[in-house]
Amino acid sequence: MYQNILSHQEAGILTITINRESKLNALNIDTLREIKEAVIAGNADAQVHGIVITGAGPKAFAAGADISEFVNFNVEQATKMSADGHSTMDTIEQSGKPVIAAVNGFALGGGCELAMSCHLRIASENAKFGQPEVNLGVPPGYGGTQRLIQLIGKSKATELLLTADAIGANEAMEYGLVNDVVPMEDLLPRCTEILNKIGSKSPQAVATVIRCINAHFEEGTNGFKTEIAEFGKAFGTKDFKEGTDAFLNKRKASFER
């Protein structure tokens, strides 16, 4: 089905692996399209409660875009490539099911942008993050100038974007770019642990929280008003009835999927 990624589902978790290890999992156009398709499929599958995106091998999550693919693009082709890349990142960010980036090695350029579009980022100890696009004479094209500021603040983000400096996993955690740093062998188990914990919660509430968080950054949208509306709508759901009944009767909630 896919040429550039592997898609594997087990125990409610869909793992999407960028399978271009010989190219350090560089993100060509087809790979980004396949990632988008796999995330959409995961959201449509009732058996899936969480998604992990990672890269094949120990060296790279995704070491940037595939420069050889676009080196001769004209303005129109480059603009379309950027717009299509944004569409993939937006699909991940707006996923109603939590998406974790399991960052195993280099996450540079488009790879860093891919990780930032995920809801959470868990990094192996050898992970490296950076936006080196200014070395190529271009700005980031898949949301890097926006999401890096959202995650770590304007001052440090500006420094990293303008200097093209890469940072290690621990520094990335210090800045708030990643949620946790673990040994390589613990990377996927840690992601599974987090997704299983989230998976025990109300799936409707989880999706709602994601929508409310995203509303904070949407132009022309009032996140507070979104929260008020979503809170009210939740009272009409089966999940609300199950969650409150379980709390009042001192039992563990069992939410439908």
254: helix, strand or coil: coil
Q: How far apart are CA 75 and CA 173, in angstroms?
A: 36
CA dihedral 130, 133, 134, 136 (to 10 degrees): 140
Total Cβ atoms within 10 A of residue 166? 18
113 carries an active-site annotation: yes
Total Cβ atoms within 10 A of residue 26? 25
Contact between residue 179 and residue 127 where contact means Cβ atoms under 8 Å apart:
no
Q: How far apart are CA 44 and CA 51, in angstroms?
A: 12
Total Cβ atoms within 10 A of residue 249? 8
Candidate list 21, 113, 219, 242, residue with the active-site label: 113
Percent of residues in the chain assigned helix, strand, coil, to nearest 5: 50, 20, 30
Candidate list 34, 69, 76, 133, residue with the active-site label: 133
Total Cβ atoms within 10 A of residue 102? 27
Q: How far apart are CA 198 and CA 44, in angstroms?
A: 18
Counting beta carbons within 10 angstroms of the beta carbon of residue 207, is it exposed (0 to 12), middle (13 to 18) or buried (19 or more)?
middle
174 carries an active-site annotation: no
Active site residues: 113, 133
